[in-house]
Structure 1
Amino acid sequence: MSQRIDGMVSVVITNYNRALYLRECLDHIREQTYPNWEMIFIDDASTDDSVQVAREWHEQYRQVWSEDHRMVMHTLPRNIGFAGALNVGLYLARGEYIAIQDSDDYSHVNRLQRQVEFLQNHPEVELVGTNYYSFPSDAPMKRELANWLRYGDEIGKVYGRGGHCVCHGTILFRGRLFDQIGGPTRRITGAEDYEFIAKALNAKAKIENLPEPLYFYRLHNNQRSVQYYKRKESNDDK
């Protein structure tokens, strides 16, 4: 196994037909206040203009990036689904830390800085998520703060009851956690995020959420998790 790069955050972005939202997603990673990151962009055989958008964006900015930044683009020859595409990105990640980013959402520019600082100050924690705002795609300023997340010891209790209380798109974790437990499988379609967190907890990894909203979750008719979102928001056990 190759040595991970100290201090680097590998931001893993999986994409399938999200050309409409890609530039906003990528711009907010480019604008991060945390200086040391790489972007791992995995396109899951999109049939829209996603790859073209990503390539044009990369060409626009790569000449002005510092040596701390790079973008790895990998286009899969056939669609293998979210879990498969995510695992490709996780295996390519070189950083001491790995962040997940959904291609139809975007992150606050301070997101990586806040999460890395938290892990540096809490060496016992392996993975940290954040609170977030959800917003309708056609009304981006109509934001609603999530209320289903939990904190501290409550996180383990919720997953112990079969619940879910960590937003997958917000998580940042130590690369060694992936080296230890691997990524999600395809056993629970639509709940790969739940499975990964549960697997981490079963491996005795300590997990926390930051109450600060550092992520913006877009609501639209074509989003992958649309059939799960309302259930998450209304379930009192989460």
Structure 2
Amino acid sequence: MSFQRVPGLVSIVVTVYNKLPYLADCLTSLLNQTYTNWELILVDDASTDGSYDYVMNWLNGNEPLLREGKGIYTLRLPRNIGYAGTITAGMFLAKGEFIAIQDADDLSHPERVAKQVRYLDQHPQIDLLGTNYEVFEDGQPDRKLPVYWLKYGDQIGKVYAEGGHCICHGTAMFRGKVFDQIGGHTRRIEGAEDYEFIVKAIKPGAKNVDNLREVLYYYRKHQKQRSRKYFGKSQQAHDYDA
């Protein structure tokens, strides 16, 4: 018997590894989504800073939400397996017609999920949809800066055909069937798992992916973020030039 996804349900997958200082902002931004048909799947990759305990306390403090029937699920991995394995574990638990990615140190606009679902409903040929986003330095949420590396429409295919990248992984929402068909993130390319996943999702001609031009996501820059480990300041300057 084949797996049947829940129509209209958005499974929001959040991976956590030592992100304690940022979890309150992240979770609150999801709690404030205007789209109400969602489930939250939070996978902790054996954090050592108390992140998992914080999440459990946060959930206990939001019992009214749980009583309203929200699906909020947590999984604590027994050992650290890295980003690719962690996010793929979360996607295996996702029941929704749509799967949305949310990084634990970032924030989503209250209308993010609603507008992405609306666009995907209106454009059945699109399988994966990113959004525009803004960047802010940790501790300076009111000083958000635009980015200029994203592309839209037919331009996306040209960029990926040349080995480039123009969809912000943290903003992505995709149809659950994409995961069912291609699987999750590779563990063979540490540091480029997000790029590889999007490339796998793109069909010939790249007519099945797009970005919304509206800013619906906020990327936090801080010293401990994962991208600095692999790409350093040069990548930061390329991606977030403002």
TM-score normalised by length of structure 1: 0.94
Query: Is 1:214 paired with 2:241?
Result: no
Looking at structure 1, the residues matched to 27 and 125 of structure 2 have their Cα atoms a distance apart, in angstroms, of 31
Looking at structure 2, the residues matched to 66 and 150 of structure 1 have their Cα atoms a distance apart, in angstroms, of 41
Residue 167 of structure 1 corresponds to which residue in structure 2? 168
Q: CA deviation at 1:60?
A: 1.1
Relative distance call for 1:59 and 1:215 in structure 2 (3 A) is same
Percentage identity across paired residues of the two chains: 49
Counterpart secondary structure, 1:131: strand
Residue 234 of structure 1 corresponds to which residue in structure 2? 238
Question: Which is further off, 85-94 or 133-142?
Answer: 133-142
User: Is the 2:154–2:207 Cα contact (8 Å) retained in structure 1?
Assistant: no
Relative distance call for 1:86 and 1:205 in structure 2 (3 A) is farther
Residue 134 of structure 1 corresponds to which residue in structure 2? 135
CA RMSD across the alignment: 1.6
Q: CA deviation at 1:146?
A: 1.2
Counterpart secondary structure, 1:89: helix
Q: CA deviation at 1:193?
A: 0.9
Relative distance call for 1:153 and 1:205 in structure 2 (3 A) is closer
Looking at structure 1, the residues matched to 120 and 234 of structure 2 have their Cα atoms a distance apart, in angstroms, of 31
Aligned residue pairs, count:
235
Please tell me the residue identity of whatever aligns with 2:109: H
Q: Per-residue CA shift, 1:166-223, capped at 9, x if unaligned?
A: 0000000000011011111012111111101111114766100001010010000000
Q: CA deviation at 1:156?
A: 1.1
Q: CA deviation at 1:232?
A: 5.8
Looking at structure 1, the residues matched to 166 and 158 of structure 2 have their Cα atoms a distance apart, in angstroms, of 10
Query: Is 1:53 paired with 2:57?
Result: no
Looking at structure 2, the residues matched to 205 and 185 of structure 1 have their Cα atoms a distance apart, in angstroms, of 23
Looking at structure 1, the residues matched to 5 and 169 of structure 2 have their Cα atoms a distance apart, in angstroms, of 22
Q: CA deviation at 1:234?
A: 2.3
Q: CA deviation at 1:2?
A: 2.4
